[in-house]
Structure 1
Amino acid sequence: MMILGVAAFTACNDPEGTVENDTMGDATADTAVAYQDERGAVEADGVQIKDVGEDFWAGIDWDAPVVDDPEMKNAGVEVRSNNQYNIYTMDDRVLFDTDKAQIRPEGEQKLQEIVNEVKNLPQNGQIRIFGHADARASNEYNKELSAERARAVQDWLQNKGGINANRLSIEAMGETEPRATNETARGRQLNRRVAVVVVTQQS
């Protein structure tokens, strides 16, 4: 799996990279840094980001119960949820043009709907954006495209949605987690998607 955390993403956009400190005293709003201790990553303003670990992400249940949310459904966003996380899923037609990774204006509206919900959830939960593809192209191409699309959503959530960068990471799934058969056009459409998974558990 291709996993790209926020530190790597920030380094690409910040020539000085991401700064981490080991004590809370070193992390202040003035320096705009985070510090790392045995409890996980903590933002400069003192909000502790809960680190759930990679086993948690590997165990995501993509068939979690569907939430009956008319507003999100009207926005073209499928919501699934359990007692640990919410999954917000959009197919690629909602967000991107064919074989592109630039978010369409209509897609930005959908992402804003997700942000509105996320801001009502606990603010210490990690968020991972999963990019999925169908199986028409090569494994390498599908992995790269799904990474670029997940990264585009991460960038939007941080820079336009106001989600703290310390909460965000991406994972490029490529064609490894299909929701349907790749033998039909409908199945391939279901497989081309981006899922935003927001941790909600507090213990």
Structure 2
Amino acid sequence: MIRFASLILLFLAGPIAAQEMTMPTGSRQISDRTSPLDSYDLPIGPFANDTLPVRQTEGRVERITWRVQSGSSTTLQLLAPLRDQIIAQGYDVLFECEADACGGFDFRFATEVVPTPDMYVAIQDYRFLSAARGDDVLSLLISRNPPSGYIQMIRVTPVGSEDPPPLVVEEVVSTPVDLLAALDQNGHVILDDLHFRTGEITLGEGPFTSLAQIASYLADNPDTRLALVGHTDDTGALDANISVSTGRAQAVRARMIEAHGVAADRLEARGIGYLAPLTSNETPKGRELNRRVEAVLLVN
């Protein structure tokens, strides 16, 4: 099981003093979509008979996501410590389920999910929890795309109640080893914390933990080189996809040279478009998985 450390969420509002909610080591907040007045349909039961039972809520709605270096941890191992903390803070669990018991595909697409790449949900590997404390409600959605885990929290505070305390994140310096272990064992690894705008080749600002780890690995192993290989889904012509995937691989190579001091002759950048999919491109989730940049180990 992964360790837990000080990524802090000041969580409670009103007359109860603010407390800490501890997130997993290696967690990084990806997004915060807070609306001062909005509505949210809180699921309170599984999808069945073409219906998802919900509790309709209105108020200040916070939609926050994290990405976690989860390694081999299961979705239950990610959820359980968060559930314990929520219960300790006075929330009652209204509904909890795991993938198929939730309603599988139907539940996933009937409930609200922050758009990709800020949140990822594997249809066969997710857990959901909804809870309430008086008029305050929240939900947690947990999923995985190894070596990463994803956490989504949606919290609703009724208008007129005391504003909840601000989100305070304490940066955690950690050294997850799962990515490097996978590189050693398999000879290649997906750099799954990278993000690009749809259809563009510009790499986001970061910082990206995977690039720092890869740079450290190259420094410790001077007889190795890497090929950075871009991949796409099958939307559009092959030539266009090869161009996009090559551009993205080149953007990653440039970032590693400029930001991490890796020698240029130790990095190659290639793009192969949609020629090596991880899974079927027939679903949105499949296409999302197939859009990636991998690091491939080259030994001199």
* TM-score between both structures, scaled by the size of structure 1: 0.55
Structure 1 counterpart of 2:256, from 154, 157, 172: 157
Query: What is residue 188 of structure 2 aligned with on the other side?
Result: 87
Letter in 1 for 2:280: T
Residues 1:106 and 2:106 aligned together: no
In the TM superposition, residue 124 of structure 1 has moved relative to its aligned partner by 2.0
Query: What is residue 43 of structure 1 aligned with on the other side?
Result: none
Query: What is residue 197 of structure 1 aligned with on the other side?
Result: 296
Residues 1:143 and 2:242 aligned together: yes
Structure 1 residues 117 and 73, CA gap change in structure 2 (3 angstroms):
farther
Ranges in structure 2 where 5+ consecutive residues have no aligned partner:
1-70, 74-146, 150-175
Residues 1:180 and 2:279 aligned together: yes
Query: What is residue 224 of structure 2 aligned with on the other side?
Result: 125
Letter in 2 for 1:127: L
Contact 2:226–2:295 at 8 Å: present in 1 too? Answer: yes
Q: Distance in 2 between matches of 1:73 and 1:167?
A: 26
Relative to its length, the structure with more strand (as a share) is 2
- Written as runs of structure 1 = structure 2, the 5 A alignment for 1:22-101 is 68=71, 73=148, 80-81=182-183, 86-91=187-192, 94-101=194-201
Structure 1 residues 107 and 150, CA gap change in structure 2 (3 angstroms):
farther
Contact 1:95–1:108 at 8 Å: present in 2 too? Answer: no
Letter in 1 for 2:291: R
Aligned positions, number: 130
In the TM superposition, residue 89 of structure 1 has moved relative to its aligned partner by 0.8
Q: Distance in 2 between matches of 1:106 and 1:82?
A: 24
Q: Distance in 2 between matches of 1:146 and 1:108?
A: 19
In the TM superposition, residue 107 of structure 1 has moved relative to its aligned partner by 5.4
Task: Return the structure number with greater relative CO, CA threshold 8 A, min gap 6.
Answer: 1
Relative to its length, the structure with more helix (as a share) is 1
Q: Distance in 2 between matches of 1:88 and 1:156?
A: 18
Contact 2:179–2:210 at 8 Å: present in 1 too? Answer: no
In the TM superposition, residue 113 of structure 1 has moved relative to its aligned partner by 3.1
Contact 2:194–2:208 at 8 Å: present in 1 too? Answer: no
Query: What is residue 170 of structure 1 aligned with on the other side?
Result: 269
In the TM superposition, residue 109 of structure 1 has moved relative to its aligned partner by 4.1
Contact 1:128–1:170 at 8 Å: present in 2 too? Answer: yes
Ranges in structure 1 where 5+ consecutive residues have no aligned partner:
1-67
Larger Rg: 1 or 2?
Answer: 2
- SS of 1:104's equivalent in the other structure is coil
In the TM superposition, residue 197 of structure 1 has moved relative to its aligned partner by 1.6
* TM-score between both structures, scaled by the size of structure 2: 0.38
Structure 1 residues 180 and 140, CA gap change in structure 2 (3 angstroms):
same
In the TM superposition, residue 94 of structure 1 has moved relative to its aligned partner by 2.9
- SS of 2:254's equivalent in the other structure is helix
Contact 2:218–2:224 at 8 Å: present in 1 too? Answer: no
Q: Distance in 2 between matches of 1:195 and 1:171?
A: 10
In the TM superposition, residue 87 of structure 1 has moved relative to its aligned partner by 1.9
Q: CA RMSD in A?
A: 2.9
Q: Distance in 1 between matches of 2:218 and 2:148?
A: 16
